[in-house]
Structure 1
Amino acid sequence: MTNVVNSLIPVQGRVDSVDSSAPPTSTSELLQRISEDYTTSNYLWTGDIDTACFTEDCKFTDPTITFTGLDTFLQNTNSLAKIIPYITYSSTLKSTLNTIKNVNDDKSYILTTWKMYGKFKYGSILSVSGSTKFYYNPKFQISEYEEKWDIPVDVALRQLLPWSASEFQRDKKKELFKLRGYGNVKSGLIINELIEFSPIINFDKIDGTWKVIHGPHFGILEKILNVKFEYINYIIKGNKIETRVKYKGWGGGELTASGNLKFNRDDCKIKFNDFGFYPGNSEEPFAENVIQGISELFFFEDLSFFPIVYLDEELCTFKFPALGVKITSKRT
């Protein structure tokens, strides 16, 4: 990306450092200042590094380029900084520092693992994870910068193409649908990525049968009640909704609830009117009036607002504010 931008916006001459602080005086100080480049300066997007931590002849290497000189780095990032605000949504640009540690090997270095992600105005999404080694000299200044990505270069650069957002959604959903377990941590991370980059909400896509694939509290309930949910389905048609929960254990059975939906911008309100319990494989409800009465006691209309944070033709995620969780379902 830097090479492309530089060809469009060339920068000549020396670019002075904007950092006039003194070099670090210890490993712990160097580690702290590198950490702040990620957490405070968002340097993977801005190029805003603590230049006092680097030598003038520092060698920079990433999967696309190798060059020597702090001035060259500043020229490259200065060019990039000029165009980034015009082609990206600044609120989505993040440099996440996952880990950072000091390593004393043949050559001492600070090792970081990170994730860089952001959304472009022309429709692409960049999401790259990687690691960087900051080799430093006895004066605690970085003399060599070595960056590696967790995905091939061509895959990373292809994300910059205008249709990459749809590819991102497709690949993330494909990965999500392979995972199992209502409380799967990796599922939750993928869902958060989809919401952050592409919070599609299209109520025209809501009708149909949706099977829950993620909801941490369902996994907890399975353990507490010693049951296994065979399916948790939402059946929606217009402003009508029916919930069906089939479980195994304690004789098994199916719980049902039906009622009305009301949409308001990006959330919905549900009011359940009818409740039922079908023990085992029975097609007849058990103690219909009793179940109806008990269920109504435990249904609180004030807690029935569910903000929808993602909705397309095959995936729907909404928040359950009362429990502080997100529930994700897949169209069947």
Structure 2
Amino acid sequence: MAPSPAAGLSLTRSSSGHLSPAAAGSVLQPVSGSHVSQQRRRRRFAAGVVRAAPDAPPAVRAAVSAVTELLRVLSPSKKPRDAAQEDKALDPPPCDSVEDVLAVLQDDYRRAYFLTGDFTPGIYTEDCLFEDPTIKFRGLSRYSQNLDLLVPFFDSPSLELENIEKGLRVETRFVKATWKLRTYLRLPWRPLIAIRGNTTYDLNEDYKVVRHSESWDVSALEAIGQIFVSAPEQRKDS
């Protein structure tokens, strides 16, 4: 979920949508990026509102609305961050190659950024497009707010990076990561979210991410449906 793989739980202040895997003819090249220094992002909490993709099936739109209202009601209050602590966050050195971006993303995955909210904003453009099978929106600040709202609901989360590669599609350079996510949600019935998917990071000429799009191994409706099923029942199929 670049949005956030938490089964369509991405919360933003406006619109929504989906991500697409690499197009036919894309060339993928395994790369081992050098380890880059870890950086913590600046985050500002703001309650978000989910909007399903305009072309999403009615059932998906209804489910997204239901989840939005549920999380709005249950969302815990968040204490303001210490200003001095936030000022310690520094902009990362500019990336001069696809390998540089890949290395930064490897570090973000080591910190399970989908589930911790600890990612490197400096590699994204401010108007980056974020997509998954249920939502679509633009804006780095919206993505940051979305993670801030979702993270408190994750319980015993894990994010396994299975593969990360660079590629070229026509004239667009990109990085593609394949991952496996598993987390319980802090809801009364403690549902289990288990998704395998991939995220494609399209880069511009300055090696900044302009599109962060996810695809999952389950449909949007199946992913959202996991939220409404208690963990014991889900374990049978996981």
Whether 1:129 and 2:196 are equivalent positions in the alignment is yes
Whether 1:145 and 2:212 are equivalent positions in the alignment is yes
Deviations 1:164-187 (A, max 9, x none): x22223224xxxxxxxxxxxxxxx
2:179 corresponds to: 114
TM-aligned CA distance change 1:96 to 1:19, over 3 Å:
farther
Whether 1:64 and 2:134 are equivalent positions in the alignment is yes
2:163 corresponds to: 99
The TM-score normalised by the length of structure 1 is 0.44
1:304 corresponds to: none
Deviations 1:125-148 (A, max 9, x none): 110010111000111110111111
Aligned residues of 1:55 and 1:143 also touching (Cα < 8 A) = yes
Aligned residues of 2:98 and 2:174 also touching (Cα < 8 A) = no
Aligned residues of 1:37 and 1:49 also touching (Cα < 8 A) = yes
* Count of residues paired in the alignment: 160
Q: For residue 161 of structure 1, report the CA deviation from its aligned partner.
A: 2.0
2:234 corresponds to: 168
- Which whole-Å CA distance do the structure 1 matches of 2:129 and 2:138 have between them? 4
What code does the residue aligned with 1:54 have?
Answer: Y
Q: For residue 6 of structure 1, report the CA deviation from its aligned partner.
A: 6.6
- Identical-residue share of aligned pairs (%): 25
Higher CA-based Rg = 1
Higher relative contact order, structure no. (Cα contacts within 8 Å, ≥ 6 residues apart):
2
Q: For residue 32 of structure 1, report the CA deviation from its aligned partner.
A: 0.8
Describe the SS at the equivalent of 1:72.
helix
What code does the residue aligned with 1:170 have?
Answer: K
Describe the SS at the equivalent of 2:227.
coil
Q: Which of 82, 90, 97 pairs up with 1:26?
A: 97
- Which whole-Å CA distance do the structure 1 matches of 2:132 and 2:72 have between them? 18
2:56 corresponds to: none
- Which whole-Å CA distance do the structure 2 matches of 1:161 and 1:29 have between them? 40
Which 5+ residue runs of structure 2 have no aligned equivalent? 1-8, 11-49, 51-67, 79-85
Let me know the Cα RMSD of the aligned residues: 2.4
Aligned residues of 1:125 and 1:168 also touching (Cα < 8 A) = yes
- Which whole-Å CA distance do the structure 2 matches of 1:76 and 1:166 have between them? 28
- Which whole-Å CA distance do the structure 1 matches of 2:115 and 2:227 have between them? 14
In the TM superposition, structure 1's runs of 4+ consecutive aligned residues that sit over 6 Å from their partners are none
Q: For residue 19 of structure 1, report the CA deviation from its aligned partner.
A: 5.0
Deviations 1:15-72 (A, max 9, x none): x995522332221111011111111x21111232211110111111111111111111
What code does the residue aligned with 1:143 have?
Answer: V
Whether 1:46 and 2:96 are equivalent positions in the alignment is no
Which 5+ residue runs of structure 1 have no aligned equivalent? 173-332
- Which whole-Å CA distance do the structure 2 matches of 1:61 and 1:6 have between them? 20
Taking the TM superposition and a 5 Å limit, the aligned residue runs for 1:268-307 are none
